[in-house]
Amino acid sequence: MTQLRVHAPAETANQLDRLRTLADRGVAADQNEPFGDQTWVELNSGNAWLITTGDDELTGASAVVIPTDANQPVVIELVVAPEARGGGLGRALVDATQELLSQQAADEQTVTAWTHGDHPAARHLAASADVEPVRILYRMAIDITSKSFGDATVPDGYRIRTFNPGDDDAAWLELNAMAFADHPEQGQLTQADLDARKAEDWFDPAGFFIAENAEGAPAGFHWTKTPVGSAAGEVYAVGVHPNTQGTGLGKALTLHGMNYLAASGLEKIVLYVDDENRPAVNLYNALGFGVENTDVMFSSNS
């Protein structure tokens, strides 16, 4: 019988190094990070439950974020070590997660779960847990073959500069909330979330670009990300103020960041975009990106 252990949020800190090792094994096998950035933030902040195998070496784990606000959805992400798959461990983790939710989540709270890579086994587990697919997220990529993807023509009345940590935080958070008002994760970022990302070893303000108008007010941004040791840079987030849509500022910011990554000696650029965001998908297709992976979010409220 599989031995599982439930770690309360205050108890997860001493599990995170082992969890990172397990996640890296999953990445090596699947080319997918099993836990999103925000899940790591919640784990590191002591805001998430963690269900693990009871072995000395983790072979599987489920991270469960249960907001105290019942209007906010539960978020579940799960990983099983490649060598331990096919033996029922995923099913045991799902069962333990459902038991945890019955004890800790509000009755009316929506439950969401991500599968990073649209694997048939993950869909089978999701169906057995009474959650259905509601959102598709593409990982798109483009190879870097030169030091420029073309001229990033900035519309008249705007200029692009780099982000100043601390000084720009509040204005950027306000702009980000407006640009991603309908986005379930990005638009909800707080100062604590931003601080957590600035503390990551990959954060570099030299790759975080702000577009401002003639009055000096932020009008858009392109935040790039290059994980330490990775050959791929990421279009981490691109957003513009709703009043600037249609001006070409979003495309200019995208190209500006892509050119920064191209000049950094990387091999390719990746990004994540929702299937429903057709203008962005069309822009990235036009720039030469292609889909290399599909993530699926499942929900109990479909």
The answer to whether 281 is a known ligand-binding residue is yes
Structure tokens at 139: 């990982």
3-state secondary structure 219-235: EEEEEEECCCCCCEEEE
Task: Determine if residue 248 is labeled as part of a ligand binding site.
Answer: yes
Task: Assign 300 to helix, strand or coil.
Answer: coil
Helices (H), 84-168: 89-104, 120-128
The answer for residues whose C-beta is within 8 angstroms of residue 108's C-beta and 6 or more apart is 70
Is 76 in contact with 62 (CB distance < 8 Å)?
yes
For residue 240, say whether it is annotated as part of any ligand binding site.
Answer: yes
Which helix (H) or strand (E) segment holds residue 210: the answer is strand 208-213
Q: Do residues 267 and 231 make contact, with C-beta atoms less than 8 angstroms apart?
A: yes
279 annotated among ligand-binding-site residues: yes
Q: Which helix (H) or strand (E) holds 257?
A: helix 249-262
The verdict on whether residue 277 carries a ligand-binding annotation is yes
65 annotated ligand-binding residue: no
Whether 88 has a binding-site annotation, put simply, is: no
- Contact between residue 139 and residue 270 where contact means Cβ atoms under 8 Å apart: yes
Q: Which amino acid is it at 44?
A: N
Annotated binding residue 27: no
Find out whether 167 is annotated in a ligand binding site: no
Check whether 187 is labelled as a binding-site residue: no
End-to-end C-alpha distance for the chain, whole angstroms = 34
- 249 has binding-site annotation: yes
215 among the known binding-site residues? no
Q: Is 234 annotated as a binding residue?
A: yes
Q: Is 282 annotated as a binding residue?
A: yes
Q: Is 197 annotated as a binding residue?
A: no
SS3 45: coil
Total residue length of the chain: 302
Burial of residue 19 (number of CB atoms within 10 Å: 0-12, 13-18, 19+): buried
Strand pairing partners for 64? 49, 76
Residue 225, annotated as binding a ligand? yes
In our burial notation (b when 16+ CB lie closer than 10 A, e otherwise), range 116-125 reads beeeeebeeb
Does 60 count as an annotated binding residue? Answer: no
Going by the annotation, the residues of the binding site for acetyl-CoA are: 78-80, 238-240, 245-251, 277-282
Going by the annotation, the residues of the binding site are: 37, 78-80, 185, 225, 234, 238-240, 245-251, 272, 277-282
